[in-house]
Amino acid sequence: MKVYGATISPMVRKVLMALEIKGLDYQVEFVIPFNTPEGFEKISPLKKIPALVDGDVSLADSTVICEYLEDRYPETPLYPSDPVLKAKARWFEEYADTVLMKVTAEGLYFERVVKKLMGMETDEEKVQKNLKKNMPKTLDYMESVSPAEGFLVGDSLMMADIAIGSSFINAGYAGFEPDSSKYPNFAAYMQRIKAHPAFQVRMKEDAKFINKE
């Protein structure tokens, strides 16, 4: 299988985590947004990352790809089988892909990390506005749903945790960590997520990428 994207992207990381936890072989073809290779739209019609090619199947969108991996390679499930828990898991993934994409990625990680890597100037005013206006309600919500123990939809790390965790890991790369005195459950939950061996592997790879660029 071939994953197209930059491994440090929170959306690409969702796919890599799923592949690693499921023990599937894959290669990464390095593609950066806004400067995609010619013909990339044949694999990813909106030219966004990640995209996946598995034999004659080509797919775009992290959630579509992760659901495909789950259906096609069901061993080591990453979504619960119970319909209610599965719906709950999908909600958290949707929340990460939409709200967190704006708050932790576009308004923070993109500004402070990606723009810097691209030789562009950070719009720190935009970041501060985002941190004041959007981040507190996001953290209030995350605190209200974070379990005192275990993970969002069960005892083991699943796609819901991967999506949420991935977004906040990138916020961390942009210098933001949740205040554990204000958000104790969420901060502790994030520590449990980051301790997962597959996240540890990804974060070590990210460190090489950030330090190299």
Ligand X SMILES: N[C@@H](CCC(=O)N[C@@H](CS)C(=O)NCC(=O)O)C(=O)O
Cβ–Cβ < 8 Å for 22, 76: yes
Nearer to ligand X, 97 or 111 (CB): 97
Closest distance of CB 201 from ligand X, Å: 19
Q: How far is the CB of 82 from ligand X (least distance, A)?
A: 24
Q: Which CB sits closer to ligand X, 43 or 187? A: 43
Q: Which is nearer to ligand X, 12 or 142 (CB)?
A: 12
The distance of closest approach from Cβ of residue 184 to ligand X in the complex, given in angstroms and rounded to an integer, is 29
What are the tokens at 171?
Answer: 């916020």
| Sequence-separated (6 or more) residues with CB below 8 Å from residue 194 | 165, 169, 200, 203
* CB of 92 or CB of 183, closer to ligand X: 92
For ligand X, the binding residues (CB under 6 A) are 9, 11, 33-34, 47-50, 61-63, 97
Cβ distance to ligand X smaller for residue 62 or 138: 62
**CB of residue 86 to ligand X, shortest distance in Å:** 18
Q: Which residues contact 52 (CB under 8 A, 6 or more apart)?
A: 1, 2, 3, 4, 15, 58, 59, 60, 65, 68
**Angle, helix 62-72 to helix 83-95, in steps of 10 degrees:** 150
Distance CA(139)–CA(198), nearest Å, equals 24
Rounded to a whole number of angstroms, the minimum distance from the CB of residue 46 to ligand X is 7
